[in-house]
A = this chain, B = another copy of it.
Amino acid sequence: MATIRDVAKLSGVSVATISRVINKNGYVTPETEIKVINAINQLNYSPNAVARGLARKKTNTIALVLPDITNPFFSELARAVEDAAKHYGYTLNLCNSDNEESKEKAYFDILKDRYVDGIIIASDTSAYRRHYLKNSKIPLVTIDQTPRNESSVIVTSKNIKGAKLAVRHLFEIGCKKIAHIYGPLEYKPSLDRLRGYEQAVKSQEWYSSSLTVQGNFKIESGIEAVKTLLERHPDIDGIFAGNDLMAIGALKGLLKMGKKVPEDVAICGFDNINLTEIMEPEITTVAQSIYGMGTLAVELLMKKIGESPVEADDNIHLHELDVTLIQRGSTQRGVKK
């Protein structure tokens, strides 16, 4: 591989001049620029990114830390982050944490030594992160996290609003008793969706906390949850699940129990991952823009890194994207009950 020195020699100028033309900064006469460019092409030169990283203390790499890329929510997010990163000339380091603090910590240490320019975190082990935040100056953007005192930038969706949309829709199609399956409460969106649900149903005379049951955001837990719920309240006719995977589980569980969806029980999920459309019936859900969250996270990170001009909304630290209800078969009733 040709180095900057080879180019300098061939074009008869100094390395500084080469550096100037490849970085388009400083003054260079058009003539020498042409000479340099010719030499570059002739040698098929392209600057060594590692050397550049060492000199600049900047690698044009960002990292995405998430629990598990295998989860469709996160793979969609990762895709968005990669696309946006590429657009800014950055490369993406993928880090699966399984939500384990030890793995997250190990990654932080490695990433720091590698001069990654920024980190986007969509994983949730907060204890170490807080410590890390104080001891590191790596720009950070966080997805779906609980706001803390530190100046962290957070991207999330309007979860409370979304939950209310879901419940209201279930009411509208005639549901008389609506249950909720919520996700892990350490995870902020779970809590918000639960709150939204509670606010929407608490005035009903039938409301009881036994209408809510916890899942873990996976399909299997939706199956379990629905079993528990129907044992407690056989007359449930609407279920709002805290995410789509649990909604899918709920659907499977109900079908297995011989219930008809949506005739006996209607279901609404949250997220709008692609899977909702492959189920039979297709699942009504509260759509959040996963891709949009990823894109926004990168944009905000780029501002922190200094790639992108900071604007008036500079000091907004909580970015809540809007959500919308997507009506599909799992709540499509011909006749109201």
Q: Which residues of B contact A219 (CB under 8 A)?
A: 278
Chain A residues 67 to 110 lying within 8 A of chain B, measured CB to CB, are: 68-70, 72, 75-76, 78-79, 82-83, 91-96, 109-110
Instruction: Assess whether A38 is interfacial by the CB under 8 Å rule.
Output: no
Q: Which residues of B contact A95 (CB under 8 A)?
A: 82, 91-92
**In the bound complex, do residue B69 and residue A96 qualify as a contact, i.e. CB atoms below 8 Å apart?**
no
Instruction: Assess whether A46 is interfacial by the CB under 8 Å rule.
Output: yes
Q: Report the bound CA distance from A69 to B113 in whole Å.
A: 27
**In the bound complex, do residue A49 and residue B113 qualify as a contact, i.e. CB atoms below 8 Å apart?**
yes
Q: Report the bound CA distance from A72 to B72 in whole Å.
A: 8
Instruction: Assess whether A208 is interfacial by the CB under 8 Å rule.
Output: no
Shortest CB distance A69–B (Å): 5
Q: Report the bound CA distance from A219 to B248 in whole Å.
A: 18
**In the bound complex, do residue A82 and residue B70 qualify as a contact, i.e. CB atoms below 8 Å apart?**
no
Q: Which single member of B69, B79, B278 contacts A68 (CB below 8 Å)? A: B79
**In the bound complex, do residue A70 and residue B75 qualify as a contact, i.e. CB atoms below 8 Å apart?**
yes
Q: Which of A51-59, A120-128, A227-235, A296-304 forms part of the interface with chain B? A: A51-59
**In the bound complex, do residue A114 and residue B278 qualify as a contact, i.e. CB atoms below 8 Å apart?**
no
Q: Taking A79-B96, A92-B94, A93-B92 as contacts, is the C-beta distance between A114 and B68 under 8 angstroms?
A: no
Shortest CB distance A310–B (Å): 26
Q: Taking A46-B109, A50-B59, A75-B69 as contacts, is the C-beta distance between A248 and B94 under 8 angstroms?
A: no
Q: Taking A93-B92, A278-B252 as contacts, is the C-beta distance between A114 and B72 under 8 angstroms?
A: no
Q: Taking A46-B113, A48-B113, A280-B252 as contacts, is the C-beta distance between A93 and B93 under 8 angstroms?
A: yes
Q: Report the bound CA distance from A93 to B255 in whole Å.
A: 42
Q: Report the bound CA distance from A252 to B282 in whole Å.
A: 11
Q: Report the bound CA distance from A256 to B108 in whole Å.
A: 49
Q: Report the bound CA distance from A110 to B280 in whole Å.
A: 44
Q: Report the bound CA distance from A276 to B288 in whole Å.
A: 25
Instruction: Assess whether A47 is interfacial by the CB under 8 Å rule.
Output: yes
Of residues A50, A72, A94, A109, which shows the largest number of chain B Cβ atoms within 10 Å of its Cβ? A50
Shortest CB distance A82–B (Å): 5
Q: Which residues of B contact A96 (CB under 8 A)?
A: 79, 82-83
Shortest CB distance A59–B (Å): 7
Q: Taking A50-B50, A51-B54 as contacts, is the C-beta distance between A82 and B94 under 8 angstroms?
A: yes
Instruction: Assess whether A10 is interfacial by the CB under 8 Å rule.
Output: no
The list of the 4 closest CB pairs from A to B, nearest first, reads A49-B113, A75-B75, A94-B94, A49-B114
Give A contacts to B, CB under 8 Å: 46-51, 53-54, 59, 61, 68-70, 72, 75-76, 78-79, 82-83, 91-96, 109-110, 112-115, 219, 248, 252, 255, 274-275, 278-280
* Contacts A/B (CB < 8 Å), 7 sampled: A46-B109, A48-B54, A49-B113, A69-B78, A70-B79, A91-B110, A279-B279
Extra pairs beyond A46-B112, A49-B115, A82-B94 (18, CB < 8 Å): A48-B113, A49-B113, A50-B50, A50-B59, A51-B54, A61-B93, A69-B79, A70-B76, A75-B75, A79-B96, A82-B96, A91-B95, A91-B110, A93-B93, A219-B278, A252-B280, A275-B278, A279-B280
